[in-house]
Chain A
Amino acid sequence: MAADVLDATFAALADPTRRAILARLREGEATVTELAAPFAMTQPGISKHLRVLERAGLVSRGRDAQRRPCRLEAAPLKDAVDWLANYRSYWEESYQKLDALLGELNQNGPDATERDIP
C-alpha cells in the first residue's frame, strides 16, 4: 500500500476521540448526532474528527442528504493494524530471547555483567 495512506491512517488513529468513533462505527452506521452523543463535544467538533477519518479513508458518508450516515471502511485500518502487528510480533520474538537471557543473568547473581569491576 502507499506509504502516505498508511501515514494518514496512523495520524487518524493517534487521537483517542477518533479511535472511539471508529470503535462505535464497528457496531454499525451512525449519524453525526448519534456519534456526538457519548462525547462532551459539539457536532462541529465531531464533524472535524470525521473529516480527518474520511481523508484517511477510514470512514465514508452515505448519500442520504438528511442523515449522511457514517460507516467504517476497514481496509486501511486493517493495513495499519497489520503493520503494527508485524512490527510488534518481530520485536516480541526478540524480547522473548531477552527474557531468557535476563533469567540467566539473574541466576548468576547481581554482578553477572559487572565484568569491569575488579
Chain B
Amino acid sequence: MTSREQGEGLTVRALSGTGLLLTRTFAAPRRLVFDAFTRPELLRRWHGARGWHLVVCEVDLRAGGAWRFVSRGPDGAEMGLGGTYHEVDAPGRLVHSEIHDGWEEGEALVTTVFGERDGRTEMTTTVRYPSREIRDGVLRTPMERGAGEAYDRLAEMLDEMTLKGELR
C-alpha cells in the first residue's frame, strides 16, 4: 500500500449490482459530523478535492426538501448536482437522492448512517446507482487521475480494498 492511496481510513467497496459502500471514522461527535454534511456554511469549507470546490450550496433540510450543489474545478469547469431529502433524522441518518445535471435518468439513492462511539463518528454510506453508466460516468469525470496504478501493487490494494477480513 502506498501512502498516497492509504489515506486516513476511508474504505470503498463495490456492492453487487451498481452500488458502493463507503465507511470512514471522524474524530468528532456525530452531531458535528451531521452538521458538516448538511449545513451549507460548513459544506463549503470541505466538500471537494483536486481543486474542485462548491460555488453553489443550497440545502432545504427536511424530508421532501431539495438540495443543490455546483462544484467548480481547477480549469473553471462546473458540475451541478442535486436531489431531494427522503429521510432527515439528525444526527444519525440521512437519505437523499442525487442527480447530476444532464443525467436526470440516473438518480442515485444515498443512505448515510452516523454512529457514535467514544466521541468518534463512524460513517457508513451506501450509494445505489440505477445503472452502470451513471456510476462509471458520473464519478469518473471530475476525478480523472491519469495514469493507472502499477500492476505490482494490485495484490496489496485488493487486500486493502475488497478482501479485508474475508480471506480464510
Which A residues fall within an 8 A CB radius of B?
A: 3-4, 6-7, 10-11, 13-16, 19-20, 22-23, 26, 38-39, 74, 77-103, 105-106, 110, 112-113
* Cα A16 to Cα B163 with chains together (Å): 8
B77 at the interface (CB under 8 A from A): no
Contact between chains at B42 and A113 (CB < 8 Å)? yes
Chain B interface residue bracket vs A: 35 or more
Contact between chains at B7 and A105 (CB < 8 Å)? no
In the assembled complex, 22 residue pairs joining A and B whose CB atoms fall closer than 8 Å, in A order, are A6-B132, A11-B16, A11-B17, A13-B162, A15-B16, A19-B163, A20-B163, A26-B155, A78-B151, A78-B154, A80-B14, A87-B143, A88-B5, A89-B143, A90-B142, A92-B7, A92-B10, A93-B49, A94-B46, A94-B48, A99-B26, A99-B27
- A43 to chain B minimum Cβ distance, whole angstroms, is 18
Contact between chains at A88 and B132 (CB < 8 Å)? no
Contact between chains at A90 and B166 (CB < 8 Å)? no
Kindly report which residue of chain A lies nearest to residue B20, judged by CB atoms.
Answer: A87
Q: Which 8 A-B pairs have the closest CB atoms?
A: A92-B7, A93-B49, A14-B16, A7-B132, A102-B28, A10-B14, A97-B46, A98-B46
Contact between chains at A13 and B14 (CB < 8 Å)? yes
Contact between chains at A87 and B12 (CB < 8 Å)? yes
Number of A-B contacts (CB under 8 A): 153
Contact between chains at A20 and B139 (CB < 8 Å)? no
* Cα A7 to Cα B45 with chains together (Å): 34
- A81 to chain B minimum Cβ distance, whole angstroms, is 5
- A115 to chain B minimum Cβ distance, whole angstroms, is 9
* Cα A4 to Cα B137 with chains together (Å): 12
For A78, give its contact among B39, B148, B161 (CB under 8 Å).
B148
Known contacts A19-B166, A20-B166; A74/B151 CB under 8 A: yes
> Which A residues are CB-close (under 8 A) to B11?
88
Kindly report which residue of chain B lies nearest to residue A16, judged by CB atoms.
Answer: B166
- A96 to chain B minimum Cβ distance, whole angstroms, is 6
Kindly report which residue of chain B lies nearest to residue A112, judged by CB atoms.
Answer: B32
Contact between chains at B27 and A93 (CB < 8 Å)? no
Contact between chains at A95 and B24 (CB < 8 Å)? yes
Known contacts A84-B14, A84-B161, A90-B49; A99/B8 CB under 8 A: yes
B22 at the interface (CB under 8 A from A): yes
B136 at the interface (CB under 8 A from A): yes
